[in-house]
Amino acid sequence: MAWSFLSAEQLSAALRAGAVTSVELTEEAIARIEHEDKVINAICVPDFDRARAAALHADRALARGEDGPLLGIPVTVKESYDMAGLPTTWGMPEYRDHVPTEDAVQVSRLKAAGAVLLGKTNVPLVLRDIQSFNEIYGTTNNPWDHTRTSGGSSGGSAAALAAGFGALSIGSDLAGSLRTPAHFCGIYAHKPTLGLAPTRGMVAPPAPALPIDLDLAVVGPMARTARDLTLLLDVMAGPDPLTHGIAYDIALPPARHERLSDFRVLIIEEHPLIPTGSAVRAAVNRVAEALADEGAHVERRSALLPDPIEAATTYMQLMLSNAAANLPIDVYDRLRTHAATLCADDHSLDAARLRGMVLSHRDWVAANHRRELHRHGWRQLFAEFDAVVCPITPTPAFPHNHNGGLEDRHIDIDGVEYPYFDQLVWAGMATMPGLPATAIPAGRSAEGLPVGVQLIGPMFEDRTPLRLAELLERKIGGFRAPE
């Protein structure tokens, strides 16, 4: 039997029943990687010797009657996580020999849960792209169409899952870096509530692995089924034992509902700052129709939705303020000079990004206050709705585009070009206020490419969008292996 595309839940049941061993699963995954990854290039740092040893250890534990949520399951890890003895480069050539001596907290949790770690997956330079390529490890191709990107920055993990290289992976998300690759590759991913899963050890070299509470950025699970997302999130969630874990335990509330008919859902298919491509609009509407068909309460508009234009502007300012914090002073001064030339009435996203890169602390505090007002607005909305369905990006996976700087690129939406980074407004809808969002497959484009949507839920109620994802998977179908 071929095991490569079964869910982690199915593999775990087979392992406990003695139908397969972890060594067999691991050898099949390694053989598949060695054969298929030559053209996909998802696994940038293989760790097969230690994986084989871990699989043997898992089989012995199973034979003793031991158990664990991921015991014996082959998984992969995004390159940006520290794994003792393996390079962590974030795609930066000057750190190609940077080898941490300790595991990231999430890697430690995977190991404690019994997972077999196959290796690390590819990323863009400094994780700052919607594609995954760098000078050290090259370009990751989309398993559905090798001429197109797998997304970024967790593009290697999404491609690995779509290609059957392990049952699970862990990634991170600041600008859709979990959700966009899932959308492009036809898999599932979950951006947890901000702060739910600790990020220590998911750090750019040569910085030390400190228990820092990141702004906007999260770490989260990726899988081929919605139930597997919940399985992996339960391993990842919970405070860092060095800080909040000293005093706090985690107790996520259950999903608000168990049946599709009970859900109250707001559908958003258009953004005032960027159009939605036809393929993505069709996917959003397919989910809306499935919900309505099951008797869910579906609305297309609500006065409670926080202003999407202000949300996008605030998101860009907060994100770019963070990204520019470590720029050399001469670069920062040039940006500040450039920002000073902007017209006061220039409210474009380009202007918001430039202003964000030179944001003063005074202005950051003002932007953060706007964020808190938006969070309060979302609380009011989620008193009337249980989830919001909306796009992840305006298009399916686009052709590889490595030309020029990020600010010089464009995205083609049904034949019209728009600034490359403007497509991030959809990612920012959940990221800026710190809300949980689950990416699910929702159909195919005319070219046969996967198209996904995101299900945004209330803060710290991650189980609600995850449960909705599981119910929709049963209704409209889920992951399908590339042909």
Domain ranges (residues) in the chain: 8-246, 260-474
Kindly tell me if the per-residue pLDDT of 326 is higher than 90.
no
Binning pLDDT at 50, 70 and 90, where does residue 325 land?
confident
Domains 8-246 and 260-474 are alike in CATH topology:
yes
Catalytic position from the list 12, 22, 153, 445: 153
Catalytic residue from among 12, 78, 80, 321:
78
| Cα(284)–Cα(295) distance, integer angstroms | 17
Take residue 463 and report the two structure tokens written for it: 């189980």
Tell me the sheet residues that pair with 46. Answer: 119
Give the per-residue pLDDT at 180: 98
- pTM for the whole structure: 0.98
Report the DSSP beta bridge partners of residue 120: 45, 77
Decide if 198 contacts 174 (C-beta within 8 A). no
Tokens of 124: 């863009």
Distant-in-sequence, close-in-space partners of 35: CB < 8 Å, separation ≥ 6: none
DSSP secondary structure string, 57-78? HHHHHHHTT---TTTT-EEEEE
The whole-angstrom separation of Cα 416 and Cα 410 is 9
Give the separation between CA 42 and CA 158, rounded to whole angstroms. Answer: 8
Instruction: Report the Cα–Cα distance between both ends of the chain, in Å, rounded.
Output: 19
Compute the average pLDDT of residues 27-38.
Answer: 98
Q: How far apart are CA 239 and CA 109, in angstroms?
A: 12
Pairing of strands 297-299, 264-267: parallel
In angstroms, how far is CA 406 from the centroid of its own chain?
Answer: 20
120 is catalytic: no
Report, as an integer, the average pLDDT of 274-283.
98
Q: Give me the mean pLDDT over the 183-201 stretch.
A: 98
Q: How many CA atoms lie within 13 A of 469 on its CB side?
A: 32
Question: What is the distance between the alpha carbons of residues 321 and 302, in angstroms, rounded to a whole number?
Answer: 31
Q: Catalytic one among 80, 157, 177, 445?
A: 177
| Residue 317 or 344, more confident | 317
pLDDT of residue 347: 87
Burial (Cβ within 10 Å: 0-12, 13-18, ≥19) of residue 175: buried
Is residue 339 pLDDT above 80, yes or no?
A: yes
Q: What is the mean pLDDT of residues 278-284?
A: 98
Distance CA 365, CA 103 (A): 34
pLDDT attached to residue 1: 62
Catalytic residue list contains 38: no
Q: What is the mean pLDDT of residues 7-24?
A: 98
Annotation says 150 is catalytic: no
Options 3.30.70.890, 3.40.50.10540, 3.90.120.10, 3.90.1300.10; CATH of 260-474 = 3.90.1300.10
pLDDT (average), residues 22-48 = 98
pLDDT digits (tens, 9 = 90+) for 367-416: 999 999 999 999 999 999 999 999 999 999 999 999 988 889 999 999 99
Residue 483 confidence (pLDDT): 82
- What is the pLDDT, as a whole number, of residue 128? 96
For Cα atoms 477, 480, 482, give the angle at the middle one, nearest 5 degrees: 155
Report the C-alpha gap between 49 and 30 in whole angstroms. Answer: 10
CB of 304 closer than 8 Å to CB of 271: no
Assigned architecture for domain 8-246? Alpha-Beta Complex (3.90)
Considering Cα of 254, then 234, then 186, then 480, what sign does the dihedral take? negative
Percent pLDDT > 70 in the chain is: 100
- Contacts of residue 257, defined as CB under 8 A and 6 or more positions apart, other chains included, come to 263, 386, 464, 467
